[in-house]
Structure 1
Amino acid sequence: IASLLFHGGLHYGIDFAGGTLVQVKFSQPTTPDDIRNALKGLDLGSSTIQQFEDASGGEFLIRVEKSKSDLVGLSDEIKATLDKVYGADHVDIRRVEMVGPKVGEDLRRKGFMAIIYALVGILIYVTFRFEFKFALGAVVALFHDVIITVGIFSLLDKEFSLSILAALLAIVGYSLNDTIVVYDRIRENLRKPGKRSYEELINTSINETLNRTILTSVTTILVLVSLFFLGGGVIHDFAFALMIGVIVGTYSSIFIASPIVIGMKGIKSFQGKRSRMST
């Protein structure tokens, strides 16, 4: 939260801020710095150039975060300038995407509302399947996972795009699954006869599911590390967001969701004792 408030907030990508994305294929070797120097005369403002792994020449994404009334004209200017520097036969425009500022703002609003709706839906569903104290613990843990992931992206000045929003929703689903596994074991142990305290019962339930939680998380992280290093620049940040989410989600399922259930149980017991004393 501090990184969002004091570090300048999120660095929104073209999907949310508006602008133009041009994917260019070169038949001869070049570098992002060379392309940036070639386009220097266009005054593109805030722009990034990202390279794909490609053996023959190179393929690049040119992202221009600039509000212009003629976005189509902007892509044509980029094509004409690159043709002049590299030659028209050596430049191939593979893809052009344009998002206006108003469309980007609408996508940003709908994206964050999707996360809110997901959390509210989870609160209702878990309350129905378990109890409200379990639902509250799950939602607080999920909110924690989302905030930590978004905060790290803000702190590192990484681009926040639709793919990262999709990663956040995937993190919510993954973390919820971990939490539900623990909750289900707690519910099973509550039905068993015995005189263990509530805290001991939850601690036992966490320990019984700990191996499963850790092994699942490690397996998932190994896959995400492979995507991070071998998947190319397009899904680099997506894999990075998922790695953060899996690590933080594993932590929150054990150390946040279940302790909140204990805390809610303690509050309920305290209120019951207080009402009996008053009568």
Structure 2
Amino acid sequence: MTNKTSYKLTNINFMGLRFFTFGLSAVLLLVSIGSLATQGLRLGLDFTGGTLVELHYASSPDLEEVRGHLEIAGYEQFVVQNFGSSHDVLIRLNQGFSPEVGEQVRSLLDAQDAGKVKLTRAEFVGAQVGDELRDQGGLGMLVAMLGIMIYVAFRFQYKFAIGSVLALVHDVIILLGFFSVFKIDFDLTVLAALLAVVGYSINDTIVVYDRIRENFRKVREGTVSELINVSINQTLIRTTITSLTTLLVVVALFLLGGEMIRNFALALMVGIIVGTYSSIYIAGTLLLTMKVTRDDLAILIKEGVLEDDGRP
């Protein structure tokens, strides 16, 4: 395939849209940072602690109905799940403990199933474990980004390392901003999803960067912008198919997985969309902004060795 034929593969002028996409990303980042700075994250019970109430039902209750009754009663942040058996229900409330809380919850739910709900225990649950996991999760993310930067710098070039990490920071901030703006509970499952999104996003970015490096070394014609454009288009089908198939699974988890993993699936959905967007529009555009050239990826040839066949 000749160089001219390879350029015919370019159907979408991604680099031509770079000012629009940079503007869109700037708006999303400003909104996310502003929301995080003013109202922060709505931390879940894993991070804040609260009151734990354990109830025993004479017959297996419908957990969705239990959640509905708690919402109608004015409880805002809570977790409802089975504990031990389908007759035992564990309720975690985001409020300080008092001796009356357990009985209040029991009375509220017993009014719907008269005489069928018994209070097993009520106690305060601290957030120490949540704090430790939060700190460890944040530290793990920083270490992961540092490792990614070192790896990409060695495999490609330092401009690629900076671009990949900036694209990751872009994805993380927007995902956190999404949870902050819409005031969705941020718990340990969301933190796990955030770390998964980092791995997913960097994988897509490395695929695009690898094709850019290959084209920089093989294609002798065209500007840097054109080569990046060609590279993104050549990996577009792979990126799109991977994202769509992953989204199908995550959407199924969101719709059918139940309340406990709904925020986890939501974080993955948003992260996959933002990560795919940044791999296509942001990662390559950052290279163009940093003025990457063919010389940055040139293969050094030892003196006395021919480039074409390697014979002295």
TM-score normalised to the size of structure 1? 0.77
Verify the 8 A CA contact 1:51 1:58 in the aligned structure 2. no
Verify the 8 A CA contact 1:46 1:66 in the aligned structure 2. no
How far is the alpha carbon of 1:125 from its aligned partner? 1.2
How far is the alpha carbon of 1:131 from its aligned partner? 0.9
Does 1:15 pair with 2:50? no
Verify the 8 A CA contact 2:243 2:276 in the aligned structure 1. yes
What residue is the counterpart of 2:266 in the other structure? 240
Verify the 8 A CA contact 1:224 1:243 in the aligned structure 2. yes
Does 1:261 pair with 2:287? yes
> How many pairs were matched up?
255
Structure 1 SS opposite 2:290? helix
Structure 1 SS opposite 2:149? helix
What residue is the counterpart of 1:100 in the other structure? 126
2:67 counterpart (29, 32, 36): 32
Identity percentage over the alignment? 48
Structure 2 unaligned regions, length at least 5:
1-32, 296-312
Structure 1 SS opposite 2:37? helix
Verify the 8 A CA contact 1:15 1:99 in the aligned structure 2. no
Deviations 1:93-139 (A, max 9, x none): 7x999742444333322222222221111111111111111111111
Structure 1 SS opposite 2:291? helix
Structure 1 unaligned regions, length at least 5:
270-279
Verify the 8 A CA contact 1:49 1:60 in the aligned structure 2. no
CA distance in 2, matches of 1:33, 1:192: 62
Does 1:231 pair with 2:257? yes
Does 1:251 pair with 2:282? no
Which segment drifts farther, 255-264 or 231-240? 255-264
After superposition, residues 194-233 of structure 1 pair within 5 angstroms as 194-233=220-259
Letter in 2 for 1:131: Q
Verify the 8 A CA contact 1:19 1:63 in the aligned structure 2. yes
Verify the 8 A CA contact 1:32 1:51 in the aligned structure 2. no
Query: Residues 63 and 205 from structure 1, CA distance in 2 versus in 1: closer, same or farther, beyond 3 angstroms?
Result: same
Query: Residues 129 and 20 from structure 1, CA distance in 2 versus in 1: closer, same or farther, beyond 3 angstroms?
Result: farther
Query: Residues 74 and 116 from structure 1, CA distance in 2 versus in 1: closer, same or farther, beyond 3 angstroms?
Result: farther
Structure 2 SS opposite 1:9? coil
Letter in 2 for 1:48: F
Query: Residues 61 and 203 from structure 1, CA distance in 2 versus in 1: closer, same or farther, beyond 3 angstroms?
Result: farther
Does 1:48 pair with 2:78? yes
What residue is the counterpart of 1:64 in the other structure? 93
Question: What value does the CA root-mean-square deviation take over the aligned residues?
Answer: 3.5
Does 1:146 pair with 2:172? yes
Query: Residues 174 and 59 from structure 1, CA distance in 2 versus in 1: closer, same or farther, beyond 3 angstroms?
Result: farther
Letter in 2 for 1:159: D
Does 1:164 pair with 2:190? yes
Letter in 2 for 1:4: L
What residue is the counterpart of 2:35 in the other structure? 3
Verify the 8 A CA contact 2:41 2:185 in the aligned structure 1. yes
TM-score normalised to the size of structure 2? 0.69
Query: Residues 74 and 212 from structure 1, CA distance in 2 versus in 1: closer, same or farther, beyond 3 angstroms?
Result: farther
Verify the 8 A CA contact 1:142 1:176 in the aligned structure 2. yes
How far is the alpha carbon of 1:215 from its aligned partner? 1.2
CA distance in 1, matches of 2:248, 2:157: 34
